[in-house]
Amino acid sequence: MNNNLRINKNNFIDQTVRISFKFNGKKLFGYKGDTLASALLANNIHLVGRSFKYHRPRGIMTCGSEEPNAIVQVGNDPALTDPNVRATEIELYEGLEAFSQNCWPSVNFDIGGINNFLSPLLPAGFYYKTFMWPASFWEKYEFFIRHSAGLGKSPTKPDQDLYDHQYVHCDVLVIGGGISGILSAKLSAEKGLNTILIDDKSYLGGSTIYQDNDIFKINNETSNAWLKNQIEKLKKIPNLTIKNRTSVAAFHGYNYLLARENLTDHLGANERKGKIRQRLLKIRAKKVVIATGAIERPLIFSNNDRPGIILSSSIKKYIDYYGVKTGENISLFTNNDSAYETAISLNKSGVKVKVIIDIRENPSSILSEKIEKTGIKILRGHTITNTDGYKRIKSIDVMKLSKDGENVVGNKTTYKCDCLGISGGWTPMVHLFTQSGGKLKFRNNDNVFIPDENKTPSEQISVGSSNGDFELDDVINNTVKKIKIFLRLDKNDYENLDIKCSKEKQKRNIWLLPSNKPTSKSKPFLDFQNDSTAKDVKLALREGFKSIEHVKRYTTTGMGTDQGKLSNMHALGIIADTTGTNMGELGTTTFRPPYTPLTFGAIVGRNVGEFFDHTRRTAIHDWHVENKAEFENVGQWKRPWYFPKNGETMYQAVQRESKAARESAGILDASTLGKIDIQGEDASEFLNRVYTNAWSKLAIGKCRYGLMLNEDGMVYDDGVTTRLGENHYIMTTTTGGAANVLSKLEDYLQTEWPELNVYLTTVTDQYSTMSICGPNSKKIIKKIIPSLDLSDESFPHMSFKNSKIDNVNCRIMRISFTGEHSYEINVQSNYAKDVWEKCIAAGKEFNITPYGTETMHLLRAEKGFIITGQDTDGTLTPSDLQMDWIIGKKKYDFIGKRSLYRSDTIREDRKQLVGLLTDDPNEVLEEGAQLVESLEKPIDMLGHVTSSYFSPNLNKSIALAVVRSGKKLKGKKLIVPMENKNINVTITDTVFYDKENKRLNA
Amino acid sequence: MFIINCPYCGERDQTEFSCGGEAHIERPKQPTELSDDQWAEYLFMRKNIKGIQFERWNHIHGCRKWFNVVRDTSNDKIHAVYKMGERPPLK
Ligand SMILES: [Zn+2]
């Protein structure tokens, strides 16, 4: 380790605990308390990556979440590697391994760097202009763009880490643990309010905690000593929760916030084991205090992006907090007093500050006077016009500014340096305020957008520098004053503090600093991550872009992972200057969540693998598993798909099951069908209104098939409903439609027809259903329930009987979805498996064959029965389905009736359901395949195949399809064009098997 | 994410509710007597206001009751909730 860059005395880094880590394969050392960035700087490593477009060498530029350059890949385990991590945020731990991103083949030799020399060819909108045409070339461009853009690598194996979600409620949430956040949290908690204080760092106290400077005093103590005391007291208050290493990502309406708590990211591999890595906090706060601070602005001048150019306040933190010198020969460039604080810190630590370049003419303050006494040279009214050095800054060119600041005058002087601190003033962090719906106002004298107190959407306030207070006395006094009103406090200890600090006297701001070089040769970077320059913004304006949202997207300014935290303001300033607009009128681009990136792990929490969604299993599920069923997901349900025997393929199994069901007996678990119990004196009237056909005359003990429409006349759901009693029905719905049908029925009952006395109860889970079909089904039922009269006279098709199987109550319906003589047994679910096994045992002599959804689909297709959602898609009326017979023409009204004779629904050329037979009976069509009449271009698409199977009972291929004017086209030849052949088909009736329905009573 | 004050259950998180669109669009009593245009007006036309809007909401993962909400769509502030059949509060 280069110990020359580490100063010895400080309170924050434990120099007794050495930590080894690797950067780009090289073994290095740091100390406990370091971030990766501070440890790299201590090892004299500034160059950490390449820029996005020009692949220019880039160095660590900040010390926080706004870092645009030091983006690294952490770890190389294929399951745990983490891309796009800011070196300034990651805490050093033993064994940490990090790699530069966005450089190939290596950070020191980078092929993409050639773009830097080609840069005149890469203006704003370059990607749009170049790679958009011809479209067919995109595949070729893509490889190069992706390769040279390459922002990090995704893990290739499933994440092994644990993540959690937690709901959190509190009276007051304070975001930010700087001095204003500390005071707010303390006042809130002392008042007895349940308070949470959140900060993204591992420590509390913000930038004041390392501000060891005699100029800043509170009640005669230095500000850091005073604050340290307050924090000690704060930690003792019982009704306060402090969450460190926690970052608020989003602030939604009604004070709902999302925060990510990092629990193990700072620990070594051994300490992480078995622990939750990150927790997503879902916070509801009665009141919110935003104390998120401010971010220092860079200055925009030519070649302001070289490694070694660092924000002035970050240089200060590296020396004061981490004890790391960012250079041996540092110069500072500023438009405000902050750089003088940095100079004092550096001077105190024995680091040579050669020169401070200040664009202001007369910036006298307590701070600048103190600097003058040290003999550090101050160049007032000057600017830097250029910098030199490739992988590290070597020198700066300085010239005098003209009075109006538009030009430079006189001769240039070159100063050598190995580090340059820049400060362009401060930008309040208003992201969360605006995310919540708050509106900003512009303060002209120091060019900041601050929260507009009168346009605050919820119970919240912004305090401290996030509210635009930058001087110590303003921060404390205004915070205390605002909190007192916000939390309705009485007098408190902080109202009459004796605060001493320096006050800034003069302000001067130039968004784009002038240079003596021609514009074409200068490179003043605005967005360091996306490599957009001030020139790009001006070019976009010349090309006619006016809206800032458009300029942003065209130039990609502010679109990197740092979301333009550093220099969005400069882009706005340059747009305002160029177009002669006031910045306040221009407004800002929209701040969108997340404030800092969230991991997918934190977003999904425990909802992974089998917890991703609920799994519904029927009461008979275990039997299906024991009997080797293959399962199909139908919504959340696991349904048996088919039951392969002796290594059968799906096709073979389905052919066997389908034949058995028609030749002897089949059994299906139909428990997933939705079941709604309907009771009340108006139940019949209600069914009349929701189904297309008539229900009032349905006798008790009878079943009826019903079709349900939407008000637009389109088929919505179908199923059989049985009248159990005078005022009692049981309705079945499709498996997928169950929940929506119930909701729809409840909606009509509650809102349109409250006068009807009807009660709806879902009993889908309470009852299980098994359907036994085939010519031997009657014999099987007879064996199970010998006492039941199964004669066609007593128990005809479409009727129902209450019965008992071994003292278990059951409802037997004689209904059929296969066209065969069938019975449906409904029993309470906890008896279902026993009853099922009884059926299987009784059916053994008839070779009863369990079948799954695929065979069910095939059998019903042979009969031309529709499946809503497969043969229908929300655009078909009953008439389109050739089901005019089910429309109760005499009925005055039902849901959707009026829509059935709108001008559009009576068109004869609507798509209509038809049957299809292939000329080659062995050719099975693909579902979704298009139907055309001729292959002459342009080809007119007439419709598509909705269901298609090889029917073992007919020994040929059958299909259902929707075809324009299909009803009139019976017998017509059409073509199904496929990738490598054209299939000839003929339109037929939709019923392929047993057209006379003889088998129902067989 | 709103907090909605269900008239039957009290304040609950928005995730428990579903929105049913514009309120106070009554299903015509005699649909068969309407022209295509009149029926289309009922069926398809919705206001989608920026500002104060009257909406139907359903406490779908709670009591399953439908009720009405007066919401300012520009800032999501809920100004009133009231039961089905009750008079809307005056603007
Ligand atoms: Zn409710």
Residue A997 has φ and ψ, to the nearest 5°, of 55, 35
Cβ distance A28 to A22 under 8 Å?
Answer: yes
Residue A701 has φ and ψ, to the nearest 5°, of 90, 5
Q: Is B53 in CB contact (< 8 Å) with chain A?
A: no
Q: How confident is the model at residue A1 (pLDDT cuts 50, 70, 90)?
A: very low
Whether residue A675 has pLDDT greater than 70: yes
Q: Are A407 and A473 part of one and the same domain?
A: no
Q: Which residues of A536-572 are buried (b: 16+ CB within 10 A; e: fewer)?
A: bbbbbbeeebeebeebbbbbbbbbbbbbbbbbbbbbb
More confident: A395 or A589? A395
Ligand 1 center–CA A931 separation, angstroms: 50
User: Which DSSP letter does residue B87 get?
Assistant: P
Residue with tokens 């090289």: A26
What fold characterizes domain B3-83? Folate-binding fold (3.30.2270)
Whether residue A114 has pLDDT greater than 60: no
- pLDDT of A139 reads 57
The pLDDT tens digits of the residues spanning A386-430 come to 999 999 999 999 999 999 999 999 999 999 999 999 999 999 999
Specify the CATH number for the domain of residue A492.
Answer: 3.50.50.60
The C-alpha atoms of residue A54 and residue A114 are separated, in whole angstroms, by 7
The pLDDT tens digits of the residues spanning A610-623 come to 899 999 999 999 99
User: Low-confidence residues of chain B, pLDDT below 70?
Assistant: 90-91
Q: Is B50 in CB contact (< 8 Å) with chain A?
A: no
Handedness of CA A323, A325, A330, A333 (dihedral sign): negative
Structural domains in chain A (count): 5
The pLDDT tens digits of the residues spanning A705-749 come to 999 999 999 999 999 999 999 999 999 999 999 999 999 999 999
- pLDDT of A990 reads 96
- pLDDT of A107 reads 59
Q: Are A900 and A888 part of one and the same domain?
A: yes
What single-letter amino acid sits at A702?
Answer: K
Q: Are A931 and A873 part of one and the same domain?
A: yes
* Within a domain: A558: yes
Ligand 1 center–CA B20 separation, angstroms: 15
- pLDDT of A532 reads 83
Whether residue A147 has pLDDT greater than 60: no
Q: How confident is the model at residue A144 (pLDDT cuts 50, 70, 90)?
A: low
Alpha helices in chain B (DSSP H): 36-44
The radius of gyration computed from the CA coordinates of chain A, to the nearest angstrom, equals 38
Q: Are A407 and A455 part of one and the same domain?
A: no
- pLDDT of A118 reads 56
Q: What is the mean pLDDT of residues A773-784?
A: 97
- The DSSP code sequence of A395-449 is EEEEEEEPTTSSSEEEEEEEEE-SEEEEE--EEE--HHHHHTT--EEEETTTTEE
Q: Are A477 and A590 part of one and the same domain?
A: no
Q: How far is B38 from chain A (nearest CA, A)?
A: 11
Strand A276-290 and strand B52-58: the pairing is unpaired
What whole-number percentage of chain A has pLDDT above 70? 95
Cβ distance A519 to A301 under 8 Å?
Answer: no
- pLDDT of A138 reads 55
The pLDDT tens digits of the residues spanning A308-327 come to 999 999 999 999 999 999 99
* Within a domain: A680: no
Q: Are A111 and A19 part of one and the same domain?
A: yes
Q: How confident is the model at residue A121 (pLDDT cuts 50, 70, 90)?
A: low
Q: Are A400 and A482 part of one and the same domain?
A: no
* Within a domain: A823: no
The C-alpha atoms of residue A555 and residue A563 are separated, in whole angstroms, by 13
Q: Are A185 and A258 part of one and the same domain?
A: yes
Q: What are A's interface residues with B at a Cβ cutoff of 8 A?
A: 252-254, 256, 284, 437, 457, 711-712, 743, 746-747, 750-752, 754, 892-893, 897-899, 902-903
Q: Are A547 and A482 part of one and the same domain?
A: no
Q: Is B1 in CB contact (< 8 Å) with chain A?
A: yes
- Domain extent for A941: 861-1001
Q: Are A327 and A287 part of one and the same domain?
A: no
- pLDDT of A146 reads 53
Whether residue A512 has pLDDT greater than 80: yes
For A252, which of B1, B32, B34 is closest by C-beta distance?
A: B1
* Within a domain: A785: no
Strand A294-296 and strand A309-311: the pairing is unpaired
* Within a domain: A377: yes
The C-alpha atoms of residue A532 and residue A526 are separated, in whole angstroms, by 6
Which of A842, A279, A218 has the alpha carbon at shortest distance from A602? A279
The verdict on a CB contact (< 8 Å) between B34 and A899 is no
* Within a domain: A841: no
What whole-number percentage of chain A has pLDDT above 90? 82
The verdict on a CB contact (< 8 Å) between A457 and B75 is yes
Is the preceding peptide bond at A83 cis, omega within 30 degrees of 0?
Answer: no
Q: What is the mean pLDDT of residues A655-678?
A: 98
Give the B window 10-39 contacts with A, CB below 8 Å: 13, 20, 26-28, 30-32, 34, 36, 39
- The DSSP code sequence of A168-184 is EEEEEEEE--SHHHHHH
Whether residue A11 has pLDDT greater than 80: no
The verdict on a CB contact (< 8 Å) between B85 and A899 is no
List the structure tokens of A28.
């290095």
Whether residue A344 has pLDDT greater than 90: yes
Handedness of CA A939, A943, A946, A951 (dihedral sign): negative
Q: What is the mean pLDDT of residues A662-689?
A: 97
The C-alpha atoms of residue A660 and residue A619 are separated, in whole angstroms, by 24
The C-alpha atoms of residue B10 and residue A248 are separated, in whole angstroms, by 28
List the structure tokens of A638.
């696991």
Whether residue A533 has pLDDT greater than 90: no
Q: Where do the structural domains in chain B lie, given as residue ranges?
A: 3-83
The C-alpha atoms of residue A692 and residue A185 are separated, in whole angstroms, by 64
Q: Are A470 and A524 part of one and the same domain?
A: no
Please classify residue A930 by burial: count the beta carbons closer than 10 Å to its beta carbon, then call 0-12 exposed, 13-18 middle and 19+ buried. Answer: middle
Q: Are A235 and A113 part of one and the same domain?
A: no
For A893, which of B13, B20, B32 is closest by C-beta distance?
A: B32
For B64, which of A457, A746, A752 is closest by C-beta distance?
A: A746
Please classify residue A707 by burial: count the beta carbons closer than 10 Å to its beta carbon, then call 0-12 exposed, 13-18 middle and 19+ buried. Answer: buried
Tally of CB atoms within 10 A around A968: 13
CA angle A461–A466–A469, rounded 5-degree value:
100
* Within a domain: A654: no
Q: How confident is the model at residue A140 (pLDDT cuts 50, 70, 90)?
A: low
The C-alpha atoms of residue A586 and residue A547 are separated, in whole angstroms, by 9
The pLDDT tens digits of the residues spanning A52-108 come to 777 788 999 999 999 999 999 999 899 999 988 999 999 999 999 999 886 554 555
Cβ distance A863 to A818 under 8 Å?
Answer: yes
- pLDDT of A558 reads 79
Q: Is B63 in CB contact (< 8 Å) with chain A?
A: no
Q: Which residue of A has its CA nearest to B20?
A: A747
Average per-residue pLDDT in chain A? 93
Cβ distance A428 to A448 under 8 Å?
Answer: yes
Cβ distance A429 to A294 under 8 Å?
Answer: yes
The pLDDT tens digits of the residues spanning A902-923 come to 999 999 999 999 999 999 999 9
